[in-house]
Structure 1
């Protein structure tokens, strides 16, 4: 079985992506896009959560986390 696969996309999408990828190979280019998108989503979720939580909420979360780690044992 081959390590490579084909993905069907609209010609316009492929042309746009080819211009953006420059000299990179497709695997590295797509992996880079994936990692950037994942990182961006994580940052966005963190910022949203940060706006929702008060300082007291954050302190309570930190306290609960410490208590959990101190009481956690593997059986």
Structure 2
């Protein structure tokens, strides 16, 4: 196994164009990362996220089921 801080993903992204990333192994939030464009004159030597689509769940809502319950409460003005 390699240490995460030594793993370089830029060549992998350029070759495969997409990959899945798991954030928070407890709640297992899976994200699809997709290369849309390579900016040739970009001043940094590493890939970055420059835009995202949609909002993410707040921390520690206990997975998908907890997020559904959170949204139900959030969208109900009469919820405690």
Fold agreement, TM-score > 0.5: no
**Structure showing greater relative contact order (alpha-carbon pairs closer than 8 Å, 6 or more residues apart):** 2
Q: Which has the higher strand share?
A: 2
TM-score norm. by structure 2 comes to 0.29
Kindly name which structure, 1 or 2, has the bigger radius of gyration based on alpha carbons: 1
Q: Which has the higher helix share?
A: 1
TM-score norm. by structure 1 comes to 0.30
